[in-house]
């Protein structure tokens, strides 16, 4: 997904359909007529069409609501600039009311019947049928029209029709867009899959709604949210001031996972990192980077002694640990010591079917960040339903932890209902060890002093930034080499 903004910077707020409607109403009450907002929206759509398809006939598909009103405006502006524009309306003209009726009255190019033959000869199609306002399957007549247009580039108004604005869920027959022009603020469907994939390039247009009307509980991830908490070393810094992190390791045949996490924690800002390894497997954990210390402390008593050091601030548990009671005990020891915890992989699967016990330990620790992928999430929270945003929020409330629900549209959720959606992660991150690196990055940031929500969001963004642009062949080890550059980018 590529994001563009017509304003000075892409704003982070993500608004639900109802919150966006409230922002519209607030702008109108403040003195900006609804037709002015619609004119600005339609003009932005026309510009997007002309930029991507500067010549050839344009077919505008308009619905009976405000989304269709934007389509009428776009058609008028395109025709005014000499484009061959035709428009088909879903339903009767008398059903168009309000600002959309005013926009329709200003269109003098005629209205065609709603039939698939309308598409013949077009160079590009504008989907101004339903936008974000539809939360039910598409009518058969719309699916037939979209089927006729599938070979054409499409510009969607607000969202491709048939994508639910609050969840990103897609109903059968959606016409994928080359680009989607939306207004004022993003909606969840612009950043959650499959809506995000169907929307194509997203253009966020400023149509004159004041920025102070953007109130929501979801944000688009980026350095502006947490840059102020990144700890930059200065002349007063020393390794103990930056903090000591412990990464708990498992059997030697799984040594790679914990080593990746430890290396990442050190790169991300921890002053010291110790791998707490099984006493009979030390040789498997000694190696690069040489700055990571290794201690025979994976067993409960050894771990308890290691983390009794007041300089230890955080622990990462799960990568390569193995699933079972031993790992559960390690989590309990770290939680009862009052550390900041990152629980990943086996540390989560070890509590499958007993999320109550996991939640109790999360609340015992100073703070906890859980980083489940979809399989681990289902094992822990099999009863939670809905989109990734809703599930992550519910899991955070249930456990008292920050929850990082990992996927192509990773969501970071806090216990207060706040959520941050990530959009910079490339598909190449779907590789062995990638999650171990992420757990280590978050652990290093927690060790350095960042607050849990900020550390989780920063870790997810840095993880994506380290992978971005690498391309085919990326492996987890490459992320460690590129993390310093990602940190540099985030801090500037």
Instruction: Give first-to-last CA distance, the chain, whole Å.
Output: 23
Length of the chain: 492
The count of structural domains within the chain is 2
Q: For residue range 331-390, what is the model confidence (pLDDT) as tens digits?
A: 999 999 999 999 999 999 999 999 999 999 999 999 999 999 999 999 999 999 999 999
Of 84-93, 200-209, 230-239, where does mean pLDDT reach its minimum?
230-239
pLDDT band of residue 228 (cuts 50, 70, 90) is: very high
Can you give the residue range of the structural domain that contains 426?
A: 223-490
Query: Are 189 and 142 members of one domain?
Result: yes
Q: Which residues of 270-302 are buried (b: 16+ CB within 10 A; e: fewer)?
A: bbbbbbbbbeebbebbeeeeeebbbbebbbeeb
Judge if 238 and 195 occupy the same domain: no
Domain edge (last residue) among 166, 191, 216: 216
Q: From residue 31, how far is each of 4, 101, 216, 346, 399 by CA, in Å?
A: 28, 20, 23, 56, 45
Interval 154-207: pLDDT, tens? 999 999 999 999 999 999 999 999 999 999 999 999 999 999 999 999 999 999
Q: Which helix (H) or strand (E) holds 83?
A: none
Check whether residue 334 and residue 422 sit in a common domain.
yes
Same domain, 199 and 229: no
**240 vs 437 pLDDT, higher one:** 437
Residues 210 and 228 in one domain: no
What is the rounded distance in angstroms from the CA atom of residue 195 to the CA atom of residue 80?
32
- Residues 229, 210 share a domain: no
Same domain, yes or no, for 23 and 66?
A: yes
Q: Please indicate, yes or no, whether residues 428 and 373 belong to a single structural domain of this protein.
A: yes
Predicted confidence (pLDDT) at residue 9 exceeds the cutoff of 90: no
Q: Is the peptide bond before 194 cis (omega within 30 degrees of 0)?
A: yes
Sign of CA dihedral 80, 86, 89, 94: positive
CATH number for the domain spanning 74: value is 3.40.50.10260
Q: How many CA within 13 A on the CB side of residue 475?
A: 4
Rounded Cα distance, 97 and 166, in Å: 25
Same domain, 165 and 233: no
CB 193 within 8 A of CB 389: no
Q: Which residues pair with 245 in a beta bridge?
A: 273, 314
Same domain as 445, residue 357: yes
Angle (CA) 381-317-240 rounded to 5° is: 135
Residue 320 φ then ψ, to 5°: 70, 15
Indicate the pTM of the whole model: 0.95
Task: Give the residue from 161, 189, 216 where a domain finishes.
Answer: 216
User: Are 70 and 157 spatial neighbours (Cβ–Cβ below 8 Å)?
Assistant: yes
d(CA 15, CA 187): 5
In this structure, the answer to whether residues 309 and 420 fall within a common structural domain is yes
Tens digits of residue pLDDT in 285-311? 998 889 999 999 999 999 999 999 889
For residue range 60-76, what is the model confidence (pLDDT) as tens digits? 999 999 999 999 999 99
Give yes or no: residues 41 and 189 share one domain.
yes
The span from the CA of 393 to the CA of 192, in Å, is 14
Question: Which of 216, 240, 264 lies at the terminal end of a domain, its last residue?
Answer: 216
Residue 3's pLDDT is 66
Domain CATH for 377: 3.40.1190.20
Q: Are 103 and 65 in contact (CB under 8 A)?
A: no
Each residue's pLDDT tens digit, 441-483:
999 999 999 999 999 999 999 999 999 999 999 999 999 999 9
Angle at 347 between CA 346 and CA 349, to 5 degrees: 55
**Angle, CA of 207, 142 and 187, to the nearest 5°:** 35
Q: What is the pLDDT of residues 395-427, one digit of tens each?
A: 999 999 999 999 999 999 999 999 999 999 999
pLDDT at 242: 79
């Amino acid at each position: 997904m590529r994001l563009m903004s017509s304003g000075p910077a892409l704003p982070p707020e993500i608004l639900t359909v109802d919150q966006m409607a409230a922002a519209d109403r607030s702008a109108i009450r403040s003195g900006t007529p609804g037709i002015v907002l619609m004119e600005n929206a339609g003009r932005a759509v026309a510009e997007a069409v002309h930029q991507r398809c500067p010549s050839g006939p344009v077919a505008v598909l308009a619905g009976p609501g405000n989304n269709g009103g934007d389509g009428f405006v776009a058609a008028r502006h395109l025709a005014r600039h000499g484009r061959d524009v035709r428009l088909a309306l879903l339903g009767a003209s008398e059903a168009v009311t309000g600002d959309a009726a005013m926009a329709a009255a200003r269109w003098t190019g005629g209205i065609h019947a709603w039939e698939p033959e309308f598409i013949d000869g077009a160079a590009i199609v504008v989907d101004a049928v339903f936008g974000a306002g539809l939360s039910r399957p598409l009518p058969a007549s719309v699916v037939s029209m979209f089927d006729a247009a599938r070979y054409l580039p499409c510009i969607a108004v607000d969202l491709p029709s048939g994508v639910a604005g609050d969840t990103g869920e897609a109903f059968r027959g959606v016409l994928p867009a080359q680009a989607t022009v939306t207004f004022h603020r993003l909606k969840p469907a612009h950043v959650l899959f499959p809506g995000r994939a169907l929307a194509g390039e997203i253009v966020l247009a400023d149509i004159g709604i004041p920025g102070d009307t953007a109130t929501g509980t979801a944000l688009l991830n980026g350095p502006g949210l947490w840059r102020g908490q990144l700890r930059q070393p200065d002349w007063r810094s020393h390794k103990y001031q930056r903090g000591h992190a412990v990464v708990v390791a498992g059997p030697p045949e799984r040594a790679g996972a914990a080593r990746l996490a430890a290396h990442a924690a050190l790169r991300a800002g921890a002053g010291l990192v110790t791998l707490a390894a099984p006493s009979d497997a030390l040789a498997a954990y000694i190696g690069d980077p040489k700055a990571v210390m290794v201690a025979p402390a994976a067993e409960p008593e050894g771990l308890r002694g290691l983390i009794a050091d007041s300089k230890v601030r955080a622990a990462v548990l799960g990568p390569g640990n193995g699933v079972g009671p031993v790992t559960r005990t390690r989590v309990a020891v770290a939680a009862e010591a009052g550390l900041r915890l990152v629980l990943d992989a086996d540390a989560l699967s070890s509590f499958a079917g007993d999320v109550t016990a996991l939640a109790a330990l999360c609340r015992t620790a100073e703070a906890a960040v859980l980083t489940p992928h979809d399989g681990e999430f289902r094992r822990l929270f099999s009863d939670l339903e809905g989109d990734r945003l809703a599930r992550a929020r519910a899991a955070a409330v249930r456990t008292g932890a920050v929850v990082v629900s990992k996927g192509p549209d990773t969501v970071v959720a806090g216990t207060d209902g706040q959520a941050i959606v990530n959009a910079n992660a490339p598909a190449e991150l779907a590789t062995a060890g990638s999650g171990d690196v992420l757990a280590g990055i978050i652990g290093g940031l927690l060790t350095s002093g960042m607050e849990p929500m900020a550390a989780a969001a920063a870790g997810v963004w840095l993880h994506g930034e380290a992978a971005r642009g690498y391309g085919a062949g990326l492996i987890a080890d490459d992320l460690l080499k590129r993390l310093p550059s990602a940190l540099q980018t985030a801090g500037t």
